[in-house]
Amino acid sequence: MTHQVLNVNQIIDHAKFTPFHFRVVAWCLLIILFDGYDLAINGVVLPLLMDDWGLSAVQAGMLASTALAGMMFGAMIFGSLADKIGRKKVIMICIVLFSGLTFAGGFASNPTEFAILRFLAGLGIGGVMPNLVALTSEYAPQKMRSTLVTTMFSGYAVGGVMAALLGSWFTPSFGWEIMFFIAGIPLFLLPIIWKFLPESLTFIVKEGKQAQARQIVRKLAPKVTVKEDTTFELHQVDVPEAANVASLFRRGRAKNTLLFWLAFFSCLLTMYALSSWLPKLMMAAGYSMDNSLMFMLVMNVGAVVGIVGGGILADRFHLKPVLMFLGIMGAIVMSLMGFQSNQILLYILVFLAGAASIGSQMLLYSYVAQYYPLAVRSTGIGWSSAIGRMGAIVGPILIGALLGMSLPAHFNFIAVGLPVLITAIAVALIMHDDEPAKIEVIEAVPVKA
């Protein structure tokens, strides 16, 4: 009797969508929802903290950037750690960090304590996101991969919607602290998440845990016959390239790598400037706190539409034209937001600004993943993301400084919108659009072997 050896990558690629897939996406979506909430509360509480602690706009901008600095280091540290100890354990560590330390932020009595707690929470916020994206994509069937990853990612914007809603309901009665206490909910869910969220199947096979792999494959692909002695193997793709930063600049990729870095930097600058400062910008333009939180809610609803709709359009027309359109649209609508206009029209502009800025960011991740070949793909995504986080740190500080100058409101919004135009220009200059397709075909050959 012959011993059965199955290729686990092929099983995942060709599996039909099952309740198992639904559960993986649902748990990842729930975690990223709170991840998005934890970051979005910056925009809700900054105006209140400025009043409570007598902060200037520049000081408040610095405070908002502490979580973003933590995110940059979190993405670097927990990305590589997950390759050593597994995605599931790293996701659990990150939940403890971002949920527990955001909760603790509600007890901060001064800006220094608050900044330290936000930086440490940022390690978890930044570290969990790439691992949730990786876990979802590593379980998703090939033909549904981008749809499932985009759907999961939409939870990030839903978390922003939740922050704006809860902020308008609870902060008038309970103060800014209540927003941080709500962030502690995932800590109570940890035992349930540990029980039901599976480890990456490819990681399990890599670690040689064949019995555990057999259990998961039976749920993942019920039609595949798995015997008690069945063993699983991974794709062996031989690509003669070192997975380091230098490889991103070889084989004619230097120009495109720098353009991707510029696109990430400028897109994240706008995205975080907007999410941290939108309520305060709208108050500076003459709107009340309640109105300003409604604008934040509308922006995040727009983000959900931008992420999901952008993914669908990108599958149909390619990522490049969709990203260019979103960037140009974002620059125009954000420039128009600073002019006093009809409130309904303003809501439409804020909706489109959310779709353009946050939608562009999620699509940029997909573009980078498709551009780089397998051997340097994680390195390409990781470094683009890290450079982008620098833009995320600069954004809130820059807008805080502009607010501190008491410039006309429309000037502030033009400054927020300009970087997404730079993103569109950088994407337009990226060449060799057919290269990723060729790379994918080359890599796909061993799959069928």
Q: How many domains does the chain have?
A: 2
Tokens encoding 286: 């003459």
**How much is the pLDDT for 80?**
65
pLDDT of residue 433: 46
Mean pLDDT of 123-143: 82
- Same structural domain, 203 and 251: no
Q: Which of 11-15, 121-125, 145-149 has the lowest mean pLDDT?
A: 145-149
pLDDT at 209: 84
Residue 127: the pLDDT is 82
Query: Domain with 209 in it: what CATH number?
Result: 1.20.1250.20
pLDDT 10s digits, 156-183: 878 888 888 888 888 888 888 888 999 8
Backbone φ, ψ for residue 6 (5° rounding): -120, 145
Q: Out of 235, 270, 298, pick the residue that ends a domain.
A: 235
pLDDT of residue 343: 75
Residues 50 and 145 in one domain: yes
Judgement on whether residues 414 and 280 belong to the same structural domain of the protein: yes
Under the banding of pLDDT at 50, 70 and 90, the label for residue 442 is: very low
The larger pLDDT score, comparing residue 279 to residue 214, is at 214
- What is residue 113's predicted lDDT score, i.e. its pLDDT? 92
pLDDT tens digits, 279-318:
777 776 666 666 666 777 888 888 888 888 887 787 777 7
Residue 243: its pLDDT value, please? 55
Domain match, 263 and 178 both: no
> Which pLDDT does position 85 carry in this prediction?
79
Q: What are phi and psi of 83, to 5 degrees?
A: -70, -20
pLDDT of residue 373: 67
Residues facing 231 on adjacent strands? 5
68 and 154 assigned to the same domain: yes
For the chain, the average pLDDT equals: 80
Kindly state the greatest CA–CA separation across the chain: 81
Domain range spanning residue 368? 240-449
What's the mean pLDDT in 11-32?
Answer: 90
Angle of helix 254-284 versus helix 319-336 axis, rounded to 10: 30
Domain shared by 83 and 209, yes or no: yes
Distance CA(284)–CA(57), nearest Å, equals: 11
Same domain, 207 and 246: no
- Region 404-433: mean pLDDT is 80
At residue 262, does pLDDT exceed 90? yes
- Asked if 222 and 310 sit in the same domain, the reply is no
The yes-or-no verdict on residue 437 having pLDDT over 60 is no
Residue 447 has pLDDT above 70, yes or no: no
Q: Are 329 and 421 in contact (CB under 8 A)?
A: no
Reply yes or no on whether the pLDDT at 410 is more than 50. Answer: yes
Highest mean pLDDT among 78-87, 90-99, 274-283, 334-343: 90-99
Same domain, 80 and 133: yes
pLDDT band (50, 70, 90) for residue 101: very high
Domain edge (last residue) among 175, 209, 235: 235
> Are 22 and 129 part of one and the same domain?
yes
Residue 231, exposed/middle/buried by CB under 10 A (0-12, 13-18, 19+)? middle
First CA to last CA distance, the chain: 23
Structure-model confidence comparison of residues 333 and 81, the more confident one: 333
pLDDT at 79: 66
Sequence length of the chain is: 449
Looking at residue 193, what is its pLDDT? 92
Q: Final residue of a domain: which of 235, 263, 281?
A: 235
Give the tokens for residue 277: 């400062």
Chain centroid, CA 70 distance in Å: 14
Average pLDDT over residues 334-355: 82
CB 231 within 8 A of CB 211: no
